[in-house]
């Protein structure tokens, strides 16, 4: 993707809409001002003081970044946030119109959106209620008296989106893509990723210390004395640290074979977690599963040990913290502010909270995303735009096929299988053909947190309802108003939401093919298709099954080429002492590189490329690369950068531009990159996969 769905495919919530209140990329012109020529979509962003061969990211985007500092309410700022700012305005109008509709029928989409928005915007109501919306769950936690009753509550919390002890999902069986299966995964951590509990880098150590203070404050808000809260915080941190120690590192989670262990629930109970009678527990969720797929069995063995030795009082405190941190944003200001202080300010560097209306929209997208999406595409996504990108997908597919034929390292037998998979890739562009049915979801005006709990419970029940039924390959895991895209290996599909094609300040028909092919065909369409052939996705066949279709020699040659990319990205050090994890980010880096190569091949078939005429002083080839860089126009705070380096499988924006482009011969030609410049790489160190 812009972000690949994990192979466990735990639900993909719509991206948090994270824009500030500064309009679009280009400032609006007053009505009485003299007319000005519209700035060029890419040339206007360039920093001419930078040589493209020294730092292409800074050359292509530096002018805009200098003039657009990160707003106080943001942890990063760039094209994604500005696009989302435009989406905010549109979604706010949809929400306010629904709230003002006095004739909305009970249970209708309009009633749900209107009531959700009304309550979410009612800060005084949230302040009056305090933690009251959580009283039933907190009372059940208070009643926990042994491991079994702790598990009763833990399994209940999973139904409302809280994830104590482990993670669970109902998704396709990786080796039988036409069957829905129960997946169990490591989980239960309050920090973003297991390495946060151990990495010695001083910024990470500071976050660890701040997390303990955050837990202490949460317990104080729940009524504990300062001394009691401090003790509880240290004990919960010790439990989470033990779970983190048992968890696999980020890079190891990217091997689908090593994270696939199918067994009977009774086998999981007997061999790993005697305290958890999985047959009974799953039946309580109405999941009569004869098998489960366990990602990391050793984690569950360690979980058993922690359950056996951890005092019940600590288990209660752990679940209280998990519950409150999940729902704090929907409670009174004291809970909301405490949650922001750690997760917003400390982890991501935000100086201040976003306005309440933006936070309400973020929650509304999470709870009612497809309802908003249905209204959004009707009003804001044209049929002409959908057709343009459907056609572009086929152009990229054709270019990919031609490139497969030219590979000198892949055997004819493997090429034939690769062509079969490429031809079978399903494209989903803009929005679903069939909209999700939310009729069973009840939204009212009792409380903001209650509406979110109802939405999370509905989502859990929706996932459970799929078990034992044929796989619905038409379903989307992202909303149309999401600025992102994904490849799903089990469906062998690319999914391209309508918002992903937006460039702020421009209508789709105002952007030349060179820029669009860089911005969409390379960084999105080609990127997502390449995920089907990266180090992870290549292990799935044309039907979406985890199955080895490569010859042994071809797999070896692929790995040799991929290792060159791992080495390249391991060498990048965005923060002192913190390098990019080349193995964890390998799939995204391969997809970026493959997307550029395939998108460029497709662009070379267009009339604009063949005519070769300059626009705003730049050739079509140069504009293609500038269009690609536009997709990663972004800057981030140090805290956000640190979080990404430890917990994200994507490299930071700058290296998603400079890293892959330094392997592309046409880039050297377009900008005259010479030996000795930072963007230049020796021929024997360049990645040569696609």
How is residue 661 written in tokens?
Answer: 């482009």
Task: Please say if the pLDDT value at position 651 is more than 80.
Answer: yes
Segment 86-93 shows an average pLDDT of 94
Mapping DSSP to helix (H, G, I), strand (E, B) and coil, where does residue 168 land? strand
Q: Are 250 and 647 in contact (CB under 8 A)?
A: yes
Asked if residue 329 has pLDDT above 50, the reply is: yes
275-298 residue pLDDT tens? 999 999 999 999 999 999 999 999
pLDDT value of position 508? 86
Please give the Cα distance from 510 to 388 (Å, whole number).
Answer: 13
Q: What is the pLDDT of residues 42-67, one digit of tens each?
A: 999 999 999 999 999 999 999 999 99
Q: Which residues contact 472 (CB under 8 A, 6 or more apart)?
A: 466
Name the token pair of 440. 């069973």
pLDDT exceeds 70 at position 586: yes
Distance in angstroms (rounded) separating the CA atoms of residues 145 and 156 = 16
Provide the token pair at 664. Answer: 């592309």
Question: pLDDT at position 105, please?
Answer: 95
pLDDT of the residue at 38: 80
Three-class SS string for 54-92?
Answer: CCHHHHHHHHHHHHCCCCCCCCEEEHHHHHHHHHHHHHH
Q: What is the pLDDT of residue 385?
A: 86
Which overall architecture, per CATH, does domain 132-330 show?
Orthogonal Bundle (1.10)
Tell me the mean pLDDT in the region 459-481.
96
How high is the pLDDT of residue 1? 44
Confidence of residue 668 (pLDDT cuts 50, 70, 90): very high
Q: What is the pLDDT of residue 365?
A: 96
Using the predicted structure, report yes or no on whether residue 319 has a pLDDT greater than 50.
Answer: yes
pLDDT 10s digits, 339-366: 999 999 999 999 999 999 999 999 999 9
- Within a 10 A sphere around the Cβ of 128, how many other Cβ atoms? 11
Instruction: Report the pLDDT averaged over residues 363-375.
Output: 96
Residue 63 near residue 629 (C-beta atoms within 8 A): no
Q: 10 Å Cβ neighbour count for 502?
A: 25
Q: How many CB atoms lie within 10 A of CB 630?
A: 25
Res. 382 pLDDT band, cuts 50 70 90: confident
- pLDDT, mean of residues 59-79: 97
Burial (0-12, 13-18, 19+ Cβ within 10 Å), 551:
middle
Please check whether residue 495 is in contact with residue 486, taking contact to mean a CB–CB distance below 8 angstroms. Answer: yes
Using CA atoms, how far residue 641 sits from 341, 508, 644, in Å, is: 17, 31, 5
- Average the pLDDT over 2-17 and give the result: 34
Architecture of domain 54-90+360-685: 3-Layer(aba) Sandwich (3.40)
Count CA within 13 A, CB hemisphere, residue 42: 32
Helix (H, G, I), strand (E, B) or coil at 229: helix
List the beta bridge partners of residue 482.
none
pLDDT, one tens digit per residue, over 490-507 is 999 999 999 999 999 998
Judged by DSSP in three states, 427 sits in strand
pLDDT band at 28 (very low <50, low <70, confident <90, very high): very low
Q: In what order do the strands lie in the sheet with 426-430?
A: 426-430, 493-497, 486-488
Per-chain mean pLDDT for the chain: 94
The DSSP 8-state label assigned to residue 472 in this structure reads -
3-class SS of residue 141? helix
- The Cα–Cα gap between 113 and 94 comes to 8
Select the more confidently predicted residue: 177 or 3.
177
Task: Give the pLDDT score at 19.
Answer: 28
Going from N- to C-terminal start, the domains of the chain cover 54-90+360-685, 132-330
User: 649 CB contacts (<8 Å, ≥6 apart)?
Assistant: 4, 250, 254, 584, 585, 587, 588
- Find all residues with CB under 8 Å of 464, minimum gap 6, and list them: 170, 285, 286, 287
| Sequence-distant contacts of 614-620: CB under 8 A, at least 24 apart | 615/40, 615/43, 615/512, 615/514, 616/40, 616/42, 616/43, 617/43, 618/42, 618/43, 619/670, 620/514
Residue 5 has pLDDT above 80, yes or no: no
Angle at 645 between CA 642 and CA 647, to 5 degrees: 100
Residue 171's SS3 state is strand
Q: What is the average per-residue pLDDT within 17-24?
A: 28
What pLDDT does 36 receive? 56
Largest CA distance in the chain: 78
Q: Which residues pair with 168 in a beta bridge?
A: 184
Residue 25, pLDDT above cutoff 90: no
């Amino acid at each position: 993707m812009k972000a690949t769905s994990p192979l466990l495919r735990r639900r993909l919530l719509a991206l948090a809409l994270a824009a500030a209140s500064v309009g679009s990329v280009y400032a609006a012109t007053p009505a009485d001002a003299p007319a000005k020529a519209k700035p060029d979509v890419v040339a206007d962003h360039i920093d001419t003081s930078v040589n493209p061969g020294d730092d292409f990211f800074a050359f292509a985007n530096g002018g805009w970044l200098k003039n657009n500092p990160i707003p106080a309410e943001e942890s990063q700022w760039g094209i994604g946030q500005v696009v989302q700012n435009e989406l905010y305005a549109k979604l706010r109008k949809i929400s306010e119109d629904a709230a003002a509709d006095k004739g909305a029928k009970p249970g209708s989409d309009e009633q749900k959106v209107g009531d959700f928005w009304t309550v979410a915007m009612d800060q005084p109501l949230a302040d009056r209620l305090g933690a009251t919306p959580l009283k039933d769950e907190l009372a059940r936690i208070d009643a926990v008296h042994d491991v079994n009753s702790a598990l009763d509550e833990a399994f209940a919390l999973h139904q409302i989106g809280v994830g104590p002890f482990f993670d669970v999902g109902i998704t396709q069986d990786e080796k039988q893509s036409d069957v829905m299966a129960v997946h169990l995964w490591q989980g239960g951590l309050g920090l973003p990723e297991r390495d946060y509990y151990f990495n010695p880098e001083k910024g990470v150590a500071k976050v660890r210390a701040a997390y303990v203070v955050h837990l202490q404050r949460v317990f104080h808000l729940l009524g504990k004395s300062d001394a009691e809260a401090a003790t509880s915080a240290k004990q919960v941190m010790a439990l989470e640290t033990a779970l983190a120690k048992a968890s696999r590192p980020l890079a190891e989670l990217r091997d689908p074979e090593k994270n696939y262990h199918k067994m009977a629930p009774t086998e999981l109970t007997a061999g790993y977690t005697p305290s958890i009678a999985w047959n009974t527990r799953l039946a309580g969720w109405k999941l009569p599963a004869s098998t489960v797929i366990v990602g990391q069995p050793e984690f569950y063995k360690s979980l058993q040990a922690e359950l056996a030795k951890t005092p019940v009082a600590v288990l209660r405190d752990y679940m209280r913290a998990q519950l409150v941190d999940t729902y704090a944003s929907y409670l009174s200001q004291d809970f909301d502010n405490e949650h922001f202080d750690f997760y917003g300010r400390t982890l991501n560097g935000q100086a201040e909270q976003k306005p309440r209306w933006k936070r309400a929209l973020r929650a509304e997208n999470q709870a009612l995303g497809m309802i908003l999406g249905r209204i959004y595409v009707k009003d804001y996504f044209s049929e002409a735009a959908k057709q343009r990108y459907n056609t572009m997908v086929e152009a990229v597919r054709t270019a990919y096929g031609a490139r497969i034929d030219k590979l000198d390292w892949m055997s004819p037998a493997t090429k034939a299988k690769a062509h079969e998979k490429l031809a079978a890739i399903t494209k989903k562009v803009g929005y679903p053909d069939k909209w999700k049915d939310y009729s069973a979801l009840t939204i009212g005006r009792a409380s903001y947190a209650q509406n979110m709990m109802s939405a999370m419970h509905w989502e859990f029940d929706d996932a459970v309802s799929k078990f034992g039924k044929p796989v619905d390959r038409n379903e989307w895991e992202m909303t149309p108003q999401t600025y992102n895209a994904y490849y799903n290996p089990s469906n062998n599909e690319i999914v391209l939401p309508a918002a992903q094609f937006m460039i702020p300040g421009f209508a789709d028909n105002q952007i030349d093919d060179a820029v669009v092919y860089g911005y969409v065909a390379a960084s999105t369409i080609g990127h997502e298709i390449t995920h089907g052939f990266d180090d992870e996705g290549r292990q799935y066949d044309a039907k979406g099954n985890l199955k080895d279709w490569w010859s042994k020699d071809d797999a070896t040659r692929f790995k040799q080429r991929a290792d060159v990319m791992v080495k390249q990205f391991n060498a990048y050090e965005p923060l002192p002492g913190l390098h990019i994890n080349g193995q964890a980010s390998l799939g995204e880096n391969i997809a970026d590189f493959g997307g550029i190569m395939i998108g460029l091949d497709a662009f070379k078939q267009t009339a604009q490329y063949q005519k070769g005429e300059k626009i705003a002083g730049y050739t079509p080839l140069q504009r293609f690369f500038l269009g690609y860089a536009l997709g990663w126009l972004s800057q981030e705070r140090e805290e956000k950068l640190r979080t990404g380096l430890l917990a994200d499988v994507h490299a930071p924006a700058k290296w998603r531009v400079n890293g892959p482009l330094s392997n592309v011969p046409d880039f050297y030609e377009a900008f005259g990159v010479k030996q000795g410049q930072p963007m230049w790489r020796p021929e024997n160190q360049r990645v040569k996969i696609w």
